[in-house]
Chains A and B, each alone.
Chain A
Amino acid sequence: MKNRMLGVIDATTYHEDLEELTVHRSLAAVPFAGRYRLIDFVLSNMVNSDIESVAIFPKYQYRSLMDHLESGKNWDLNRKRDGLFFFPSPLLDSPSKGIGSFNHFAANLDYFYRSKQEYALISNCFTVFNMDFRPVLERHTKTGCDLTVIRQDGRSLEMYLVKTSLLINLIESRNETGYTCMNDVVTDIRHSFTICNYEYTGLAVMIGSIEMYYAASMGLLEPEAWKNIFKRSQPVYTKVKDEPPTRYVKGAKAHNSMIANGCMIEGVVENSIISRGVKIGKGSVVKNCIIMQKSQIGENCVLDSVILDKDVKVESGTKMEGTPEMPLVIRKGTVQGALMNS
């Protein structure tokens, strides 16, 4: 039977180690793999698992997230019944330490009261994976667990499946129990709930720092990895842009790279992830880089192990270099000149 689960995405997480990329946007909206945002992975997985009602709980800098999600149309979530719900936190206190903050949910209890779906799948917003949640539900219902934690190699992926009624109980009794989030319940031994584990064997990368972000991005250049994330039967949906196909002009070269649409490649691209609408000028060499949307690289530049955020302009003749362990991150909308870095 379809539509048995609610999808609940906690988009309140703030990772200090990702600050360079989250100054202007919430973690859920961090661009990934050339045309996606981190939230696309969990949201698409939910939709592909027959979830028709998804609630997103954001907190900081969520303008870019709202802009990305719009009405939910790209995920087929602009529905008359159910669909996409957006519940920004009314509390501006410090970030909660675990996924699924009961305080945050409490402000929107009506959503849980009104929903008819029997189960709720609660997830973080920063995992890159392509997972079918239906087998989790099947196992959960067969074994009669109260709470299932999705894990990989024993480590929690910070995704939980519970009955909606139990979730409501946990939210309502948070002051008495002292539980602030799902993980508090899982790690506590005083209660009588049956906690089960579901081991996920596919690829799943939780993005917690710039280094992990860079490594996970570069990892996608391995065919085994991208085949695991991008499956034709379970597509990753994202906001559609009407960009033309990417054009390679005379003198352009590309090797071992992932390149989105709307790019104009006049230089050389190697071991890189290039997002939509990027321009790489004549004589420029872009190696081991992540270049985000609409960044413009002039002529005769050399970039190695650099992450260019959106709308960065690199003037002709500029040289920039980081290392795979410490990629150089250039903030959104800045101008990089040849003189500044020489």
Chain B
Amino acid sequence: MGKKKCVAMLLAGGKGSRLSSLTKSLAKPAVPFGGKYRIIDFTLSNCTNSGIDTVGVLTQYQPLVLNSYIGIGSAWDLDRKNGGVTVLPPYSESSEVKWYTGTASAIYQNLNYLKQYDPEFVLILSGDHIYKMNYELMLNYHIEKGADATISVIEVPWPEASRFGIMNTAEGMRVAEFDEKPALPKNNLASMGIYIFNWSVLKEYLEMDDRNPESSHDFGKDIIPLMLDENKKLFAYPFNGYWKDVGTVKSLWEANMDLLDDECELNLFDHDWRIYSVNPNHPPQYISPDAEVAESLINEGCTIEGEVEKSVLFQGVFVGRGSVIRESVIMPDAVIGENVYIEKAIVPSGIKIPDGFVISASQEDEEITLITPEMLQGIC
């Protein structure tokens, strides 16, 4: 293997339990988003658009869909002779089976993967977020600052700061202190879970962390605080732009609705920063003579015979006659029968909604309905 300047390690083993039944049989990074993508497409596309061609993808929870989706990485132009995408599942050693117990242990157990490329820098990413970011600019910043580690941060609204890992910075964005979900935040710069480490420093601290039986083997909780204690040079890299953790049904719905907003910073139509994905082969969408389509994002392979308003429809969705879909997200290959009314809901992949089914949004709470097969039982 040839030497690489920077290798990315993409943590994609998350369960995303707050996404409820959407992540019952697939990992959070594989959850469909934006009419044709899966969440991980954003991070993988960022890598390829940033000139990073070596990406280790660490999987653990329900990896089947994710593994087959990533394949050899050709969708993101990451099928390379030297480097490219490598899926890194947990494995057993002669003495024991080692699950990834934390973000740091996942990387530690794949030090051999990194050693093959003998990189100068290691970029740690998470496959859970929707954002477009040029990692090359962050790497340049890291080098300019002469940092041991750089952590990407985003300003969050003050009332929400206590939900995040907060970086308290000193002059020149040097990180002075790290507060994991502080009750009384001193700052509103939240860690985005994106780190660049000098390889030698990362290796040293991961080995140290592995020897510590008290550690939870987590970057935020263990590695970063330890580096701060030992006075390593940690810098915060401020990111301005769209960034969303789609960790709940509500936030997943909101992020999809953001795509219908003209003011939204997340532009999928930007040819200079394309979001790549595995393209299933579908004919163009067919809008029937009686159909109405307004303010929506609709993918190929859809057949629309009803009314669709302010909604996001993935590939292969069928909407029957007399049906109305409002402010909803309809995932791949869902079949909506006739005279159905769906409002403020997420319809998961492949579900068949029987004729006449009604889901309307209650006026009091702003809850989003996630339709499950159980809800449809006894109806058809």
Contact = CB atoms under 8 A, between A and B. Distances in A.
Given A226-B283, A238-B281, A258-B283, A244 B295 contact: no
B22 interface: no
Contact of A262 (B269, B281, B291, B292): B269
Contacts of B35: 244-245
20 contacts: A35-B284, A238-B281, A241-B279, A244-B34, A244-B36, A245-B312, A246-B297, A249-B295, A252-B293, A253-B293, A253-B294, A255-B287, A256-B289, A257-B286, A257-B287, A260-B284, A260-B300, A261-B284, A269-B287, A273-B284
Interface in A234-275: 235-238, 240-242, 244-250, 252-262, 264, 269, 273-274
A34 interface: yes
Contacts of A258: 283-287
Interface stretch (B136-144, B167-175, B270-278): B270-278
B201 interface: no
Contact of B275 (A229, A242, A264, A269): A242
Mostly, the A contact residues are loop
Interface string B333-351: 0000000000000000000
B365 interface: no
B293 A230 contact: no
A33 B281 CA distance: 14
B283 A244 contact: no
Given A248-B293, A248-B294, A33 B283 contact: yes
Contacts of B274: 242
A117 to B, nearest CB: 25
B281 A235 contact: yes
A255 B285 contact: no
Interface residues of B, number: 36
B283 A240 contact: no
A246 B36 CA distance: 10
Interface string A304-321: 000000000000000000
B296 interface: yes
Interface residues of A, number: 37
A252 B299 contact: no
Secondary structure call for the B interface? loop
A34 B269 contact: no
Contacts of B34: 244-245
Contacts of A242: 274-277, 279
Contact of A253 (B36, B260, B292, B299): B292
Nearest to A254: B287
Given A252-B294, A256-B289, A260-B284, A245 B299 contact: yes
Contacts of B269: 244, 247, 262, 264
A247 B297 contact: yes
B295 A252 contact: yes
B281 A259 contact: no
Nearest to B77: A242
Contact of B281 (A34, A236, A257): A236
A223 B288 CA distance: 9
Contacts of B312: 245
B298 interface: yes
Nearest to A279: B269
B262 interface: yes
A38 to B, nearest CB: 15
B268 interface: yes
Nearest to A240: B279
A226 B284 CA distance: 10
Interface centre among A34, A238, A247 (most CB of B within 10 A): A247
Contacts of A244: 34-36, 268-269, 275, 297
Given A256-B289, A262-B269, A245 B36 contact: yes
Interface string B282-325: 11111111111111111110000000000011100000000000
B295 A250 contact: yes
A246 B292 contact: no
Given A237-B281, A249-B262, A256 B297 contact: no
A273 B284 CA distance: 9
Interface string A275-301: 000000000000000000000000000
Given A35-B300, A242-B274, A244-B36, A259 B285 contact: yes
Contacts of A255: 287-291
Contacts of B260: 247
Given A242-B277, A253-B292, A256-B288, A248 B298 contact: yes
Contacts of B290: 255
9 closest Cβ contacts across the A-B interface? A245-B35, A244-B268, A34-B284, A245-B299, A230-B283, A256-B289, A260-B284, A240-B279, A235-B281
Contacts of B289: 255-256
